[in-house]
Structure 1
Amino acid sequence: MSRLQGVARRDPRAGFRAERTDGNTSIPQGLLKAARKSGQLNLSGRNLSEVPQCVWRINVDVPEEANQNLSFSAADRWWEQTDLTKLVLSNNHLRSLSDDLRLLPALTVLDIHDNQLTSLPAAISELENLQKLNVSHNKLKMLPEEITNLRNLKGLYVQHNERNDLSNNRLAAVPGSFSSLPSLMRLNLSSNQLQSLPAEISRMKKLKHLDCNSNVLETIPPELASMESLELLYLRRNKLRFLPEFPSCKLLKELHVGENQIEMLAAEHLKHLSSILVLDLRDNKLKSVPDEIALLQSLERLDLSNNDISSLPCSLGNLHLKFLALEGNPLRTIRREIINVRMLRIELCNFKSKFKDGYDGPRQSDCVPETTAMTLPSESRVNVHAIVTLKLLDFSDKQTALIPDEVFNAVKNNVITSVNFSKNQLHEIPKRIVELKEMVSDVNLSFNKLSFVSLELCMLQKLTFLDLRNNFLNSLPEEMKSLVRLQSINLSFNRFKVLPEVLYHIPTLSTILISNNQVGALDPQQMKMMENLTTLDLQNNDLLQVPPELGNCVSLRTLLLDGNPFRVPRAAVLAKGTAAVLEYLRDRIPT
């Protein structure tokens, strides 16, 4: 009974007495009993206006069953059971927390998001083991200095807090003393009214993820650029006029500065971003892009939409982008050198007058004039120029049921990295595609009439991007496991009723798009093993429920679930974004 005696010394009120109930806020005894075994108690969504004393004293008072039994089995020895380490009180009506919070010193996770808290008790400083604190979506007026005593805190979430006085709402400052949180790895300060960040923030030596979206920041302290551990930085929807330099942020992988007032992008802003994968500059006032953009050799996603850019440097074509967004710029021409056929998506809304309704992206012939001088009479239907200069085998939008042999014959000794047979009437994948198995990385077979995937496709050793949307597919062959480089697959607008089993066994997949099917089930346990999966689009399917275990898929950055018939999560939760949805699901995993 040493554990009980230790707690008793901390709280002189503790003793051997029956557990009390608290009227309309009583908690089922079975739930408390389970919590004593697991160390986890989830009271989310129970309409609580206050936290019952039986919760604060769960480690202190003798449980009710101790007064009913004279002997105990091994499973019922309450004095040997664990202290509470995780407490979830989210989605209730709590206005305050009691200082009795100190009676739970073993807590590592305290989740109180979506309540009506206006302050936190000073006793929170005594939770010395706390690693994660979520107080988002409350009405906090300020962050208490006591939080700085939580030396083991790794994640702090305070987004969406506001004052009761609506004329001056949301947090306006972050105490510099917060820099004394040595273990903090994630800090979410989004959707407040922060005008500045303290220079002391640079002392957070382990901080990897900083979210300051939706504030009123005009500048960020230069000390922020010296944070060597920083990997993800979100500064969207602020009032920044200049992009800072990041000389020490060698690990920075994502920089989101969209929806600001940035006017210039210079070489010094780019030269230190050697590890950057995602650069979001949309909705700013940029007039040009420097040639030094080519320094970002790791860059995969670049969003330049809705700026004032009239031309692009040819060096942009040297990047290996998977995504490039350019819509909303006064671009007059796109130079041939810039077109990279490995891009998954190029949005050029300035040219949409050229495109038919429902068009899915620019055709190569829209971007690069066809050079008839290089086209032989026997190959009049084949764009040889695209084969030679773009490494693209393009026979799209012909409404044909077969790909003629002359298309494959035109390849000759040229290297082909991309194949586009979209917008035809194909009922099967051309068998001769296997001739390209050692070189092609991008295949587009969308908008055809495919009802199965042939084994020839499964032999494309270097296939990285596969587009099969708008076909008649309801299954995928097990042999697709051999596509060991596949990163992105688009299966939207087909006839799948479950997420194809083979996809769980392709560990390189980072993007699965399977919207507008009839998917009614998926396996979250297998999906959790897909460590590279960052984007999953399940919109407009037949999911009757979202398995809570899906919340454990922490690698997901984009999870789209709209248009399914499930009741929870509610639309209001979905609207908060992927991180909020995953958090919501994790809170509902049975303990």
Structure 2
Amino acid sequence: MSRPRGVAGRDPRAGFRAERTDAGASVPQGLLKAARRSGQLNLSGRGLREVPQCVWRINVDVPEEANQNLSFSAAERWWEQTDLTKLILSSNQLQSLTDDLRLLPALTVLDIHDNQLTSLPSAIRELENLQKLNVSHNKLQILPEEITNLRNLKGLYLQHNELTRIPEGFEQLFNLEDLDISNNRLTTVPASFSSLSSLVRLNISSNQLKSLPVEISGMKRLKHLDCNSNLLETVPPELANMESLELLYLRRNKLRFLPEFPSCRLLKELHVGENQIEILGPEHLKHLNSILVLDLRDNKLRSVPDEITLLQSLERLDLSNNDISSLPCSLGKLPLKFLALEGNPLRTIRREIINKGTQEVLKYLRSKIKDDGPNQSDSVVETAMTLPSESRVNVHAIITLKILDYRIVELKEMVSDVNLSFNKLSFISLELCMLQKLTFLDLRNNFLNSLPEEMESLIRLQTINLSFNRFKILPDVLYHIPTLETILISNNQVGSVDPQKMKAMENLITLDLQNNDLLQIPPELGNCVNLRTLLLDGNPFRVPRAAILMKGTAAILEYLRDRIPT
């Protein structure tokens, strides 16, 4: 509770300066009144060119309603107002902030992202209670040294500015847990960063870094390190000693060798795509005991070692756009849910097998382990339905389907993968819904615009491909299949998704919505924190902007969460 503020002792200009400016007129008195009660004020997206004085002085001046002859209920006593703790000024046209910022010393959250700020006032040092500061998407070229006084700061977001250096004394922010300085013009990372002992997440992507300081390994609590889109040719070996590291992003650099990680026993995701890596050897794999995602796309790899089987937890492996001509059959033993091979000169696996997806490729590789002689499947007539390799059911070849009229009841205890792509299906037979062991369903390139509700009975379905059909919404039945891990529905006419229902899909890892008719992306979709791949390119929405999409799924989800209305 703030101290009572008497009329006699107040500034004679109090309560009048704000009302005389056009900026002040854009802040309704009702909002200010509510902010005095809640301690929170959201002025995002109001076209403000400057911050009205009535905002800076919200806890200093006597409110307008006190000057009127009114009786106050217990809930409306202005003298019992709460100090402002959260101020959101994002998505306006602010070019500067004044030193009046010091009039809000109780602030714990200050969000001014997406404005036109070129600097921050030195008075920011007086916000000693500040825990979160978001100044992303502005035009900052330097940071005031006074920012190092914010010793309670836990989250600092400076991405998408024009910063060329970090001020001295930055290591004094010893409570900082989340730091994002991506998409700036930094050429070095201060060695003093090693003193940020509480840091859990560091994003330094999209800068001009040619190297990382050895001292960065001193961040003993760091779990998430994003170094994408820099000029790194090597990473210091000491990086391998970061015992808490779980996610490491090194995409779009100039790496020629994959680092070794003897101490990173918790590393779950390693992204080194779009580099110049030529060799993947056993020494690079033997310590990745916990790895779930390994991204090696767009490199110069020529082979994959048999020791890839050491990665017994691996779920996603991206080898696309390399120079790989053959794969070790032992790869088929891994519990992969996603394997990308496009853009390689593979000679040992037929293209039609690769086109059928991950499980079919793994199945083929496993069969090669069992067979000493030529693979018998080479002589089998390809059908519109792909059966498990152990199945002996003889299914007649089907050239083009307009409806699914083959009775599959007799197969319901054995079929796990079904491929009905590149046909002319306009609806799905209910008999398909009887395949209780179905885990993979490919329905791309048909004429479908709906799915039957009975598909809810597919209690083991993990992957469904609905790309290149005629869906206008994401089929509601998909929200009710809790085992789904991958939904591919690109190149349709989908205009909306339900983020609340999507959040309940706890196993969903991949969602491909590219090339649809989404006019807006609901911010609540950012709460789907289990998503590791969210693809949104080719839709007519304006935000998130292309620069955000290029940063990847984690950045998209964070951006969306920041836009959830308070």
* TM-score scaled by length of structure 1: 0.76
The amino acid of 1:396's aligned partner reads T
1:386 aligns to 2:377 (yes or no): yes
Instruction: Choose the corresponding residue for 2:383, options 377, 380, 396.
Output: 396
1:510 aligns to 2:502 (yes or no): no
The amino acid of 2:447's aligned partner reads F
* Superposition deviation, residue 445 in structure 1: 1.7
Instruction: Choose the corresponding residue for 2:390, options 400, 414, 424.
Output: 414
Instruction: Choose the corresponding residue for 1:530, options 484, 500, 505.
Output: 505
- Over residues 125-176 of structure 1, what are the superposed CA-to-partner deviations in whole Å (9 max), with x where a residue is unaligned? 55555554433334444566665665665544433332589xxx81122333
In structure 2, what is the Cα distance between the partners aligned to 1:423 and 1:334?
A: 22
In structure 1, what is the Cα distance between the partners aligned to 2:23 and 2:430?
A: 61
1:156-305 superposed matches below 5 A? 156-162=156-162, 170-305=185-320
In structure 2, what is the Cα distance between the partners aligned to 1:92 and 1:194?
A: 31
In structure 2, what is the Cα distance between the partners aligned to 1:203 and 1:457?
A: 55
Match of 2:358, SS? coil
1:311-330 superposed matches below 5 A? 311-330=326-345
The amino acid of 1:88's aligned partner reads I
Aligned partner of 2:404 in structure 1 is: 428
Aligned partner of 2:456 in structure 1 is: 481
- Over residues 527-563 of structure 1, what are the superposed CA-to-partner deviations in whole Å (9 max), with x where a residue is unaligned? 2222333333334444444434333333334444455
Instruction: Choose the corresponding residue for 1:469, options 444, 455, 464.
Output: 444
Aligned partner of 1:551 in structure 2 is: 526
The amino acid of 2:277's aligned partner reads I
Q: CA RMSD in A?
A: 4.4
- Over residues 420-469 of structure 1, what are the superposed CA-to-partner deviations in whole Å (9 max), with x where a residue is unaligned? 9886315126332x444444332222223334334433333333222222
Aligned partner of 1:18 in structure 2 is: 15
Unpaired runs of 5+ residues, structure 2, are 166-183
In structure 2, what is the Cα distance between the partners aligned to 1:450 and 1:25?
A: 58
- Over residues 346-376 of structure 1, what are the superposed CA-to-partner deviations in whole Å (9 max), with x where a residue is unaligned? 7xxxxxxxxxxxxxxx9989x99xx9x99xx
Match of 1:293, SS? helix
- Over residues 479-502 of structure 1, what are the superposed CA-to-partner deviations in whole Å (9 max), with x where a residue is unaligned? 333333322222223333332222
* Superposition deviation, residue 197 in structure 1: 2.8
- Over residues 158-200 of structure 1, what are the superposed CA-to-partner deviations in whole Å (9 max), with x where a residue is unaligned? 33332589xxx81122333334444433222111112333344
* Superposition deviation, residue 19 in structure 1: 6.3
- Whether the aligned pair in 2 keeps the contact of 1:300 and 1:323 (CA below 8 Å) is yes
* Superposition deviation, residue 295 in structure 1: 0.9
Match of 1:3, SS? coil
Match of 2:87, SS? strand
In structure 2, what is the Cα distance between the partners aligned to 1:465 and 1:122?
A: 58
- Over residues 387-411 of structure 1, what are the superposed CA-to-partner deviations in whole Å (9 max), with x where a residue is unaligned? 99xxxx97436xxxxx8xxx99xx8
Aligned partner of 1:381 in structure 2 is: none
* Superposition deviation, residue 569 in structure 1: 5.2
1:109-120 superposed matches below 5 A? 109-120=109-120
* Superposition deviation, residue 88 in structure 1: 3.4
- Over residues 62-98 of structure 1, what are the superposed CA-to-partner deviations in whole Å (9 max), with x where a residue is unaligned? 4333333633345544555555444333344444444
1:441 aligns to 2:416 (yes or no): yes
The amino acid of 2:234's aligned partner reads T
Cα distance change of structure 1 residues 245 and 496 upon mapping to structure 2, 3 Å threshold: same
In structure 2, what is the Cα distance between the partners aligned to 1:487 and 1:154?
A: 38
- Whether the aligned pair in 1 keeps the contact of 2:206 and 2:227 (CA below 8 Å) is yes
1:64 aligns to 2:64 (yes or no): yes
Match of 2:331, SS? helix
Cα distance change of structure 1 residues 514 and 307 upon mapping to structure 2, 3 Å threshold: closer
Match of 1:210, SS? strand
- Whether the aligned pair in 1 keeps the contact of 2:142 and 2:164 (CA below 8 Å) is no
- Whether the aligned pair in 2 keeps the contact of 1:325 and 1:345 (CA below 8 Å) is no
Instruction: Choose the corresponding residue for 1:452, options 401, 424, 427.
Output: 427
The amino acid of 2:68's aligned partner reads Q
In structure 2, what is the Cα distance between the partners aligned to 1:225 and 1:547?
A: 38
* Superposition deviation, residue 343 in structure 1: 0.3
Match of 1:466, SS? strand
In structure 2, what is the Cα distance between the partners aligned to 1:564 and 1:119?
A: 34
- Whether the aligned pair in 2 keeps the contact of 1:151 and 1:181 (CA below 8 Å) is no
- Whether the aligned pair in 1 keeps the contact of 2:511 and 2:535 (CA below 8 Å) is yes
* Superposition deviation, residue 386 in structure 1: 3.2
User: Identity over the aligned pairs, expressed in percent?
Assistant: 77
In structure 1, what is the Cα distance between the partners aligned to 2:250 and 2:12?
A: 51
In structure 2, what is the Cα distance between the partners aligned to 1:487 and 1:75?
A: 53
Cα distance change of structure 1 residues 498 and 213 upon mapping to structure 2, 3 Å threshold: same
- Over residues 192-229 of structure 1, what are the superposed CA-to-partner deviations in whole Å (9 max), with x where a residue is unaligned? 11233334433434332221111122332333322233
- Whether the aligned pair in 1 keeps the contact of 2:198 and 2:221 (CA below 8 Å) is yes
In structure 2, what is the Cα distance between the partners aligned to 1:249 and 1:143?
A: 33
- Whether the aligned pair in 1 keeps the contact of 2:340 and 2:358 (CA below 8 Å) is no
1:491 aligns to 2:455 (yes or no): no
- Over residues 289-342 of structure 1, what are the superposed CA-to-partner deviations in whole Å (9 max), with x where a residue is unaligned? 222111112222222233344443332232233333334445444499x98976
1:43 aligns to 2:43 (yes or no): yes
Moved more, 229-238 or 123-132: 123-132
Match of 1:431, SS? coil
Moved more, 288-297 or 423-432: 423-432
Match of 2:66, SS? helix
In structure 2, what is the Cα distance between the partners aligned to 1:15 and 1:295?
A: 75
- Whether the aligned pair in 1 keeps the contact of 2:104 and 2:127 (CA below 8 Å) is yes
In structure 1, what is the Cα distance between the partners aligned to 2:364 and 2:312?
A: 24
Cα distance change of structure 1 residues 130 and 200 upon mapping to structure 2, 3 Å threshold: farther
- Whether the aligned pair in 1 keeps the contact of 2:450 and 2:475 (CA below 8 Å) is yes
Aligned partner of 2:176 in structure 1 is: none
* TM-score scaled by length of structure 2: 0.79
The amino acid of 2:485's aligned partner reads S
In structure 1, what is the Cα distance between the partners aligned to 2:270 and 2:40?
A: 36
Cα distance change of structure 1 residues 313 and 499 upon mapping to structure 2, 3 Å threshold: closer
In structure 1, what is the Cα distance between the partners aligned to 2:32 and 2:139?
A: 29
